[in-house]
Structure 1
């Protein structure tokens, strides 16, 4: 009568938190942080080194999935590469006879011949 849920509430909550931390909200907050720190750097209130730390931190936070996938791919079990695929030669299309040299595609019903 009632089907069991496919995922647990904890799994859904963790997925939601992950989406918030790396989703569009995080992207917007990082853009605002970099803009604010850039404004403070231009006004001379924040050293350039601190501003670069903020920018690099935003890149690391937003690029975390790609960085983790790269680490897992480098340390994961190596599989032998697939053998190269040999190209298949396609048969050329059959050659058609060209139309005769005196052929005029515009001649026909539109030209009066009764004069």
Structure 2
């Protein structure tokens, strides 16, 4: 039996939120029994607390001017104050959207029967 308590945090601009890799609680249990005559029965149970949801690229919609666009023709020009301000607003919007969203907890049970 094992239990893991951990936390992974991401920082975007001034905002902090749980990383998409964060699994706060993980409980793992395994057992096996020799049934005799070459038979063995085993099992494993795993519980994961809910992991944070990731942001879908379509969150902003196609008509949103703040959505990052690939293939900008002005790649070599320096960032203007407006570019920096827009990027910071987008980061804050993503951080507000992501904070606190978790997928449901997961439970898995594996059973194994083997004969030698």
- For the aligned pair, the TM-score class normalised by the smaller chain equals under 0.3
TM-score normalized with structure 2 length? 0.26
TM-score normalized with structure 1 length? 0.26
- Bigger proportion of residues as strand: 2
- Bigger proportion of residues as helix: 1
Comparing both chains, which one has the higher relative contact order based on Cα–Cα distances under 8 Å and sequence gaps of 6 or more?
2
